[in-house]
Structure 1
Amino acid sequence: MGQSHPPFRRTRSRRILGGIRRWVTAAAGALALTGGLIAASPPASAAGLTQVTGFGTNPGNLSMYAYAPEALPAGAPLVIALHGCTQSASDYYAHSGWPKFADTYGFALVFPQTSSANNANSCFNWFEPGDSARGQGEALSIKQMVDRAVSLYGSDTRRVHITGLSAGGAMTANMLAAYPDVFAGGAIASGLPARCANGVAAAYTCMYSPPDRSPAQWGDLVRSAAPAGTTSWPRVAIWQGTADTTVKPANAAELRDQWTNVWGIGQTPSRTESLGAGTTRSVYDDASGRPAVEVYSVSGMGHGLAVDPGSGPEQCGSTGTYYLDTVCSGYHTARFWGLDDGGTGSLPAPTGLTVTGTTDTTVSLNWKAVDGATSYIVYRGGTKVGTTTSTSYTDTGLATGTTYTYTAAAVDTAGAAGVVSSPATATTTGFTPTCHTAGNYDHTVAGRAYQSGGHTYAKGSGQAMGLWNTFTIRTLKQTAPAYYVIADSGCPA
C-alpha cells in the first residue's frame, strides 16, 4: 500500500519468487514513477531528531529515531509516529507537526524508520503477517522501541499512543490490534482496517475495493490478534480525505465499523461537528460518554496527512509530498488523546456535575468544589473546551438542537489535572436544517447515511439512496438531529 502502491516486500527471511513476482515488483515501480508518486526530494532537515541504537533484538530490521523536549519530566506521555511509503523518519518529523505539540504539551516522540532493504518502496510491511502480528518482525521492533523510550524518558506506560500515515497508518491499525495492552490510543491517517490483508494481492483489494465485512467480522479480526482475555481497548482516531484515490474513502467506514464494534458501541455517531477547512468530525462515545472512536473526514483532500502550516495554536506542520494543507490533524489527535491536559494529578473527580441551563447555542454547568483545586478543566466530548477557577462554566458557540456530553477535572497546585468526573449530557434548544450534496460514500463516512448490502440509506428516515459508491450523488436535508431525508429536487436550508 503506502502512498501510491502496495508495498512489495524484499523479504529478509525467505527468498522472493522469480518470474511473476519480479514482474509485479517492476510494474509497481513503473506505476509509482508514471504517477509521479515517488518523492524526488531528499529527506528534510531533522535538527533535534536523534537516532537511538540498541533497542532490542530488532527482528524487523528497523531504525529508531527520537525527539524529546528539553527538561521533559518523568511520567510524560509517549507518541510513536510511523511514516508512509517513500518517506523517512526525518521527513515525517519535519512535516507532520508532531514536534510542535511535543514541545507544547510535553511528551516524547519516536519515529520508527524502515528502508528499501525491507521493502522496495520503504513501506512498513503492514500486509505481511510475519511483520504485523504480535511478537513478530517489524511489529516487535516497534514494541521494543516503546520499551526503550520508556526507559530513556521515564514515559508513563499508561499514556503511550501511536499514529501513522498510509502504510504507517495500516501498520498503526495492526499495532493497536496486536498490542492493546501497550497503546492507550491510535490515529490512522489514510490507512486501512487492522488485518485487512495477508499478502500483496489482498493489499490491492483493501486499498482500492475494501471488503464490505460486518462490524462484528472486522472486530473479530482485532480480537483474534490481541492477547486472549483483552477487555480494554485503545481509543482510535481515523483521518481520511474524500478525494483519496490511493486508499479509497470506504476504508474509513470499515475502520469505524471495526473499532466501534471492538468497543461494543454502535456505528451511529453520538454527534458530528465541523472543524472548518471542509473537515467533519464524527464522534462515537463509549458507555461513560467519553469518545472511543472519532472519524475525521476531510472534504476534497487526496492521499496524505492533513497539516495546516502557521504559528497559530491549532496550526502545525509544513506542506510537502503527502502533507496536504487542510487542517492540523496532529492538534485534534493530541486533544482527542488528552495530551493537552498536563498529566494526571492526584485530585479526585468533581462530583455533582449538572446542567443548569441551555439555549440554542450555550450550555451552563455546575459542580461541587474539590479541596486543593486551583482551577477546573471542562471537557466537551473528551476534548478540553475551557478552564475556570469557579465551580461553574458556560460553553458557547454550540450548534442548535445538538446533544453534548461534558466532564470536568480539578487541577492541583502543580498544574496537573486529576480524575475526570462522571459525564453530564445536555441538548441545546432549537434546530437549524442543513443541506448536504455529496457521493453516497461521503454521506456514509460523514454519518449522514449508512450502508447495507452495498446500498446506501439516509440516516433516520431510512430512505434508499442507491449504490454505495462515489459516483452516486445525492442531496440530503437534515430536518432533525440524526434525521436526514432525500432532497434532490431542491434543498433550501
Structure 2
Amino acid sequence: MKTLPALERRFGNLAGSRAYRLYVPSGYDGRPVPLVVMLHGSSQTPRDFAIGTRMDAMAEEQGLLVAYPDQPRSANISRSWNWFRPGDQRRDRGEPSILAGMKRRIMRDFAVDPARVYVSGLSSGGAAAAIMALAYPDLYAAVGIHSGLAGGSATGASSAFSAMRRGALIRPMRATRPLPTIVFHGDRDRTVSPVNGDQAIAQARPAGDLRTSVSVGHAPGGMAYTRTVLTAPAGNQGTEQWLLHGAGHAWAGGSEVGSYTDPKGPDASREMLRFFLSHAKEEGSRPHRRP
C-alpha cells in the first residue's frame, strides 16, 4: 500500500515529550478543518497504525487533519500508552497533558475547527482515548474506542491485566460530561475482554431515558456484527456500539498490510469518521484557543 506523505513533529511540556505524525490533506488551504487524533496500540508505530487503519486516505478524501502521537519504548517497553497509571489518568498530568498540549499546538500551527476535534485509539490507545474524554471533555466533540477499556479501569499493572482479562473490578467512573462515543470490540477478543467495550459504553452513557436501536448485518468481507445506538432525549446521538462477531483483537476493516487488523470486518475507520463528523461541540463548550 502506498504511504501518503506526512509531517514528523514533536511536542513537549513539563510532563515529557512525544513525537507525532501529522497528515495534512493536499486540499488544505488554510480554512478551518476537523482534526482526528489517533492513538496506536501496543507494539505499533504511528506509521503502522496509519497504514493499518487507512485513515490517511480517508482524511485526504474528506479533507481533515490526522495526528498520530508516538508512544516510545522509553515510556513503555511495549509502546503501550500508560492508561493504567493514576499519574496518567488525570487532567494536566502525565500523558494526558502531553496529548492535550499536542492538540493545542496543532491548532496553533494549522487552521482547525475547534468544534470538530476528535480522539480515537486501538487497545491501549483506546483506553487512553477514553481517559482523554474524561479528563478533557472541553477539547473534543466525540471519541472512538476500538478494542479498548473504559477510563480509570485500573490503578496499576496488576489491575490492568485483570481488567483486560475480565473487565474492571472497580466500577469505572461515570463521565461528568459524557462525549458522544463509538465503540468497536470483537466478541472473540482474547487480549481485551469484550466486557470492556460494554463498560466503555456505560461510562459514556448520557443521562436520561434513551431510545435504543439495534441492527444486525454483515460486512462485505463476511463478518457479522450487531450495532446498538443509544439516542439522547434531545435527539442527538449519544453512543454507538459495534459488537463484531467472531473477531479478535484487531482493527475492523483495516488493511492487511498493517498490524492488528481484520480486513473481513466492517470499516471501523469510515464508520468512526461518519460518527465523528455528525457531532460538533456547542459554542458554549468550545475551548478557548491559547496564544
TM-score category (smaller protein): 0.7 to 0.9
Counterpart of 1:303 in structure 2 is: 249
Residues 151 and 173, structure 2, Cα contact 8 Å, conserved in 1 = no
Counterpart of 1:64 in structure 2 is: 20
**Greater alpha carbon shift after TM alignment, 179-188 vs 133-142:** 133-142
Counterpart of 1:109 in structure 2 is: 66
Q: CA deviation at 1:93?
A: 1.1
Residues 154 and 168, structure 2, Cα contact 8 Å, conserved in 1 = no
Counterpart of 1:334 in structure 2 is: 273
Structure possessing the higher relative contact order (Cα contacts under 8 Å, 6 or more residues apart): 2
Q: Map 1:45-444 to 2 at 5 A.
A: 46-53=3-10, 55-57=11-13, 59-73=15-29, 74-211=31-168, 217-220=171-174, 222-223=175-176, 232-260=177-205, 263-265=206-208, 270-277=212-219, 278-308=224-254, 317-325=255-263, 326-338=265-277
Q: CA deviation at 1:323?
A: 0.9
SS in 2 for 1:62: strand
What 5-or-longer segments of structure 2 have no aligned partner? 282-291
Residues 215 and 228, structure 2, Cα contact 8 Å, conserved in 1 = yes
Q: Distance in 2 between the 1:332 and 1:282 partners?
A: 13
Residues 94 and 318, structure 1, Cα contact 8 Å, conserved in 2 = no
Residues 62 and 138, structure 1, Cα contact 8 Å, conserved in 2 = no
Counterpart of 2:284 in structure 1 is: none
Question: Residue type of the partner of 2:36?
Answer: V
Q: CA deviation at 1:98?
A: 1.0
Question: Residue type of the partner of 1:252?
Answer: G
Residues 65 and 110, structure 1, Cα contact 8 Å, conserved in 2 = yes
Does the C-alpha gap of structure 1 residues 138 and 45 become closer, same or farther in structure 2, counting only changes over 3 Å? Answer: farther
* 1:321-352 deviations in Å (ceiling 9; x for gaps): 3111111101111111126x9x99xxxxxxxx
* 1:355-411 deviations in Å (ceiling 9; x for gaps): xxxxxxxxxxxxxxxxxxxxxxxxxxxxxxxxxxxxxxxxxxxxxxxxxxxxxxxxx
Residues 61 and 114, structure 1, Cα contact 8 Å, conserved in 2 = no
Q: CA deviation at 1:138?
A: 1.2
Q: Distance in 1 between the 2:173 and 2:57 partners?
A: 34
Does the C-alpha gap of structure 1 residues 299 and 319 become closer, same or farther in structure 2, counting only changes over 3 Å? Answer: farther
Count of aligned residue pairs for this structure pair: 275
Q: CA deviation at 1:252?
A: 1.3
Larger Rg, first or second structure (1 or 2): 1
SS in 2 for 1:161: strand
Residues 69 and 106, structure 1, Cα contact 8 Å, conserved in 2 = yes
Q: Distance in 2 between the 1:321 and 1:69 partners?
A: 24
Q: Distance in 2 between the 1:124 and 1:199 partners?
A: 13
Q: Distance in 1 between the 2:36 and 2:266 partners?
A: 20
Percent identity over the alignment is 27
SS in 1 for 2:114: coil
Residues 18 and 71, structure 2, Cα contact 8 Å, conserved in 1 = yes
Q: CA deviation at 1:255?
A: 1.4
Q: CA deviation at 1:269?
A: 5.9
Q: CA deviation at 1:47?
A: 4.0
Question: Residue type of the partner of 2:237?
Answer: P
Q: Distance in 2 between the 1:92 and 1:297 partners?
A: 21
Does the C-alpha gap of structure 1 residues 269 and 320 become closer, same or farther in structure 2, counting only changes over 3 Å? Answer: farther
Residues 126 and 147, structure 2, Cα contact 8 Å, conserved in 1 = yes
SS in 2 for 1:95: helix
Does the C-alpha gap of structure 1 residues 106 and 121 become closer, same or farther in structure 2, counting only changes over 3 Å? Answer: same
Q: CA deviation at 1:198?
A: 1.2
Question: Residue type of the partner of 1:105?
Answer: Q
Q: Distance in 1 between the 2:60 and 2:90 partners?
A: 32
* 1:49-72 deviations in Å (ceiling 9; x for gaps): 21113x342624321210010232
The CA RMSD over aligned residues, in Å, is 2.2
Q: Distance in 2 between the 1:319 and 1:51 partners?
A: 21
Does the C-alpha gap of structure 1 residues 247 and 269 become closer, same or farther in structure 2, counting only changes over 3 Å? Answer: farther
Q: Distance in 1 between the 2:248 and 2:256 partners?
A: 16
Residues 80 and 125, structure 2, Cα contact 8 Å, conserved in 1 = yes
Q: Distance in 2 between the 1:335 and 1:238 partners?
A: 13
TM-score of the aligned structures, taking structure 2 as reference length: 0.88
Question: Residue type of the partner of 2:180?
Answer: R
Residues 58 and 140, structure 1, Cα contact 8 Å, conserved in 2 = no
Residues 46 and 91, structure 1, Cα contact 8 Å, conserved in 2 = no
Question: Residue type of the partner of 1:294?
Answer: E
SS in 1 for 2:33: coil
What 5-or-longer segments of structure 1 have no aligned partner? 1-43, 224-231, 309-316, 345-493
